[in-house]
Structure 1
Amino acid sequence: MMDASTAIKPPVGRYVIPGDQVFQLPESGVVRVGTGLRDDGTQLIASRPGLLQQSKDGKLWVFGRQKRYIPSVDDAVLGVVTSKFSEYYEIDIAAPFSGLLPVLAFEGATRRNRPNLKEGDLVYCRVDMADRDLQPTVTCMDGAGRGAGFGLLQGGYVLETSNAYSRILVTKPPPAVLAALGRSLQFELAVGVNGKIWIAAPTQQATILVAQALQECEREPSKERAEGIVAGLMKTYQRGIKERETDRMHE
């Protein structure tokens, strides 16, 4: 704990790297500091890369990039079918253990009527059971037994990012980059908090635009930066549409 006097207004949600000056310490009061930050006497300095977070009790810490995703119940994740058995599928969810997806863990599934997934298929699912020493169980239904967007994903593009950033993308209200993209384009998104994002748009160019915007906003996901990035990408995208239309007219 540290002394501070005024209301704490740290840049929560900002991506920081070691050496970044994160927060100027007030003169009195209490600031709770967790992992990824150090006190140099006047300010907090980042000691590891990640997103600055603040808990409900005011504790500041840095949520860093994890080499492995650690499953937690109700997490939405993207995974790839790696094995198929009579009662379940094994799903690679970028965790220490593969996820187990029961063949009946789909809305309306029965012994005679159930999805027939293949190795290599991409699945959007929810962690149903998790234990650090056991394979997690995943499902393609929400807690009420509905599909709720979970299931087999076809086409599209998978963007890999940090676990920390993928969690930012599922917050409500939506982060600035998704709000800006939503005002400009039609697209579908399935965000797995295991650092995988599925993107599908009407055209390949639009899909690439969404992926580029998300990538460029990972380092600094502020509203000003997000809107500037999306505006710039949209200009290039619209210019490309006009050029292709002109080319077709001259064919």
Structure 2
Amino acid sequence: MDIERQIDEFVLPGDTIALSTLPSPLDSSNSITLGPGLHYDKYTNAFTSHGCGHVREPSSLTYYIDGHRLSVSSLTTGDLILGIVVRRQLESLLVDIGYNELASLSLYDFEGSTKRTKPNVDRGDIIYGRLKIDGECQPQITCVNDDGKADGMGVLNENGYLFSIPIDIANDLIHHDNLLQELGNEIPYEIAIGANGRIWIKAAATRTMIALRKVILERAKNKSDINQLKTLFQQSLVS
């Protein structure tokens, strides 16, 4: 049974918020105002989060999720992104990619997907995809290239580790990956970097994933040179 989160608690996408005892948003006489990161489902009478952050109540009956969100101008069509599935619908998924609004991902935008064989994707799964439509409308993403192939995109292994870094550092790693190549020559690992500032890593040992995260966060903090970061990586593996 899901635990209902309270005001000022930290929430993740899909968490239920304990606002259900208050008047429904459909009651115009005493309505609730929901800000960024919150959603009301009229069928279940539940309030859920579609973002990461703390539940805030700035004024009576007004609520929002206080967390870092991207502006629409931060990403452009074609950018690779990492998202978290918040909800599965009949023909599509709603995915948190860091925007104020959830992105839509059609279940047919996976390699080999048909009406008979849709992919096995559910809430909490991590998606690596490409931004299909940006701008003022709801963002849309896809997990296939122009030839209908996955090309490395899709649902990522649940045994990986997801974390966030500044967007400028993520883009620097995408376009100048000498550090990641150097570390990969020492210990094999998998990595997916999103232009929305999220990174997913997977390695055979948990210690390796922790060391990789430490090195990447250190680079984000002070942009040390590659040799210093490689030394930090080796020290982290044995400490």
User: Do these two structures clear the TM 0.5 threshold for a shared fold by scoring above it?
Assistant: yes
The answer to whether structure 1 residue 115 and structure 2 residue 115 are counterparts is no
Q: Secondary structure at the match of 1:231?
A: helix
Q: Determine the structure 2 residue equivalent to 1:95.
A: 99
Instruction: State the Cα deviation string for residues 165-222 of structure 1 (Å, max 9, x = none).
Output: 1111110xx4332132122111000001101000000100011111111111113435
Structure 1 position 228, deviation (Å) = 1.4
Letter in 1 for 2:232: G
The answer to whether structure 1 residue 197 and structure 2 residue 199 are counterparts is yes
Q: Distance in 2 between matches of 1:187 and 1:145?
A: 26
Structure 1 residues 190 and 114 mapped into 2: Cα distance closer, same or farther (>3 Å)? same
- 1:91–1:100: 8 Å Cα contact kept in structure 2? yes
The answer to whether structure 1 residue 185 and structure 2 residue 187 are counterparts is yes
Letter in 1 for 2:111: E
**TM-score, length basis structure 2:** 0.66
Alignment of 1:18-37 (within 5 A): none
Instruction: State the Cα deviation string for residues 106-138 of structure 1 (Å, max 9, x = none).
Output: 01110111212111111111111112x211110
**TM-score, length basis structure 1:** 0.63
The answer to whether structure 1 residue 158 and structure 2 residue 154 are counterparts is no
- Structure 1: give runs of 5+ residues left out of the alignment: 1-65, 241-251
Matched residues, number: 169
Runs of 4+ in 1 over 4 A off after TM superposition: none
The answer to whether structure 1 residue 134 and structure 2 residue 137 are counterparts is yes
Structure 1 residues 235 and 219 mapped into 2: Cα distance closer, same or farther (>3 Å)? closer
Provide the identity percentage: 27
Q: Determine the structure 2 residue equivalent to 1:82.
A: 86
Structure 1 residues 93 and 76 mapped into 2: Cα distance closer, same or farther (>3 Å)? same
Structure 1 position 69, deviation (Å) = 4.8
- 2:86–2:123: 8 Å Cα contact kept in structure 1? yes
- 1:201–1:207: 8 Å Cα contact kept in structure 2? yes
Structure 1 residues 216 and 111 mapped into 2: Cα distance closer, same or farther (>3 Å)? same
Instruction: State the Cα deviation string for residues 74-111 of structure 1 (Å, max 9, x = none).
Output: 11111011111111110000012211000100011101
Q: Secondary structure at the match of 2:139?
A: strand
The answer to whether structure 1 residue 232 and structure 2 residue 232 are counterparts is yes
Q: Distance in 2 between matches of 1:85 and 1:159?
A: 26
Q: Distance in 1 between matches of 2:107 and 2:120?
A: 8
Q: Distance in 2 between matches of 1:69 and 1:165?
A: 17
- 1:123–1:150: 8 Å Cα contact kept in structure 2? yes
Letter in 2 for 1:234: Q
Q: Distance in 2 between matches of 1:67 and 1:162?
A: 12
Q: Determine the structure 1 residue equivalent to 2:26.
A: none
The answer to whether structure 1 residue 209 and structure 2 residue 214 are counterparts is no
Q: Distance in 1 between matches of 2:90 and 2:204?
A: 36
Structure 1 position 157, deviation (Å) = 0.6
Q: Distance in 1 between matches of 2:186 and 2:149?
A: 30
